[in-house]
Amino acid sequence: MTTVYDFTVKERSGAQKSLKDYEGKVLLIVNTATGCGFTPHYDPLEAMYKEFRDQGFEILDFPCNQFANQAPGSEDEIHEFCTLKFGTEFPQFAKIDVNGENADPLFAWLATEKPFAGFGKGLKYAALKKFSDMNNKTFGDKAYIKWNFTKFLIDREGNIVERFEPTADMDDVKEAVRKQLG
């Protein structure tokens, strides 16, 4: 059975990093962007990281520019923005594609294992779905991730526990993390 530990990702430096290095930790894997309406999610993410990292929690940040070009900078520019504006300290990796033929294998696996189940209800959610559908139609059946700040919660054994769309309440994300930490 495949787990998150079977994957290797690219660090900002270009070096390869085995996710096996995070074995035994609770992970929140997130695709991010610096110019998105959900970019303020960095604040509660960093607060969660500070609160839980000593309990074996890591956030793995993967910038992606596939959603309305909302992460156009270089890895260094994105990192500088996140550290200066939001004080982020959690690991940030190289910019990747999460959809299409060049989708990072980690995100293709995450999204295949925990497929998109909707953004929720109401006008805000309906508007995001419409915009997402237009943006992702070029990816066809490889539109794995629907928008920036999709989050995947991984348990200490490397299994996917839950998928949170960007519209999910961050308090719900925090409570799910807390539950996994025991």
Those residues whose C-beta lies under 8 Å from the C-beta of residue 69, and which sit 6 or more positions away, are 35
Both tokens assigned to 155: 């348990």
State the burial class of residue 27 (Cβ atoms within 10 Å of its Cβ: 0-12, 13-18, 19+). buried
Rounded-to-integer distance, Cα 57 and Cα 40, Å: 20
Taken in order 85, 38, 102, 109, is the CA torsion positive or negative?
Answer: positive
Residue 36 annotated among the catalytic residues of the structure: yes
Catalytic residue among 29, 36, 111, 154: 36
Task: Count CB atoms within 10 A of the CB of residue 24.
Answer: 9
Active site residues: 36
